[in-house]
Structure 1
Amino acid sequence: MEISVLFGASFLMLIWGIYNYLGFRKEKREVKKKFEQLFRRKNERKSFIAKIGDRFDQTEYAGEFKKKLMYANIALLPSEFFAILLFSAFTLTILLFGFFSVPVLYSIVISSVICLFVYWMIFLVRRNKYIDKLNNQLSEVCRLLGNGTKAGMTIIQGLEVVAAEIDSPARGEFKTLTQNIRLGVDFERALKEMEKRVPTREYKLFISALLIQKRAGGNLTKVLHEMAHTLEERKILRQTIKTATAEQRFISYILPAMPIFLLFMLNSIMDGFLELIFTVPGAILMIIFIIGMAIALLLVRAVTNIKV
């Protein structure tokens, strides 16, 4: 019992240390980015692992994967994401072997499968987080632009104020828009390109309002403030629905994990219990369990994914 408590405390301390290290890495990266122009050094030495990560981040696959991380709203480099995934698999392997008495080969296989499942779930659950965050910021964008036009600014000047004041990720999109306009791209064409980058109903409505005002005129300030009010109400409604369905979503994640945890606990109590899974009847039952779990997750997600 004492060994189990010590092992659990050590594992929690390891997780706490990893969390603090990642926070330190983030702060270090921000400070370095802020002052690198003032204290730039030539031939600065870097660690061997960092060089491998930088080289990987420059590959074509990493470039495509970076877009995937961006749309999932995960603020990590591809090398950092895969490093965390590999480290999690390694830690899980040690945990299964040391705490639950699972054989080494089985621990490696189970850890790999769990990490692949987590990888799939991350991008399934967070595949629209970037777009959702942009939609949530649109009400603030409309309010800032409306206040700018009310103060006598032109639309382009108001968009520059939005690009300077709004937080990420909307800041990047509006900076791209204003930079294109400064480089001589037609205003309508720049807005159409933005509509292609953010193909949502909210942004289509916002861009249509700007184009109509540019062509025909009208009280743009009133339209933008009304749009901001409507978008705020939609945001509140979406949050209410998300809160109401939170219990069902979390139960759907917890229930499949409970039999797996009990399986490992029984294996630590009864030697060789896990080997029953690798028999023909055990493999059939495991396949049925995995299929049923996947169907349950998809059904719960379909029921709780209420579009407003």
Structure 2
Amino acid sequence: MSNNLAKVKELRELTGAGIQDCKTALSENNFDIEKSIEYLRKKGISKAAKKSSRDAAEGLTVIAINNAKACILEINSETDFVAKNNEFINFCSEISKIALTNNFNLETLLNAKINNDLIKDKLVNLIAKIGENIKIRRLAYLENSKGVIANYIHNQQSENMGKIGVLISIDCENKNKTVLDFSRKVCMHIAAMSPMSLSEKDLSVSFVNKEKEILKEELKNQGKKNDMIDKILVGKLKKVISDNTLMGQKWIHNQDITVEQAVVDFGKEIKQNLVIRSFIKYKVGEGIEVKKTDFNEEVKSLAGA
């Protein structure tokens, strides 16, 4: 399959647009996938809400947690097979516990020690033994002494490890199982709906402006007049914001209300004032672009053809 044909196929899978529309979009945008998606959206052909990302890397998200603090890491491998390897899993578990205890950043973590061995040296040894590149990609922490820290792992591979990891910090007056269970439900919502921020004030200004530009172009291409465009744009932009903020999203456990309303209702039910302070979601491979190779071309190059 030629590179251009492969890109047509990829764009079609990402947008649901027809083959000819995909060909035109790619041709007009120098075969750049992201620009082609924007082009199709402006033409009203693609309804994709967000820019594409190619989540091809493997590995695990790992969570370590105590009562008031939690740490989440993403540790990548080249294949899912290695992500199921016991040595890899044990390494991930050790690293998460050390990070939680010491509040390391990536650099200081790699220079910390496990049983008198530097972590970066243990990483090199593990790579040599398993035969795949392994990378500690990112880590983050949440801390809350005035409430609860809850977590959720989706596609769990081992205890506190899987393909998607979520942490949430919620202020409350009484830490109990009921609050923890609700907090975990919010984590499940985040794993499913991938909000970009907690609320509108936390949402990236550049993201909002870009969406506004795309929506405006789409309405122009539909033949709408300028005075109508401004009115329609208000409603459409409001939906974009609610769809991408946790508090504005429809609650997956009850689509008739928003997450914000679900928090308020639950607080009234248990007679507590709950406040979601922050959340972190890691998905394995998110945002990593892995180079695709054509199998036939690779065989030819190896054979010297």
Query: TM-score by structure 1 length?
Result: 0.27
Greater relative contact order structure (CA < 8 Å, 6+ sep): 2
More helix by proportion, 1 or 2?
Answer: 1
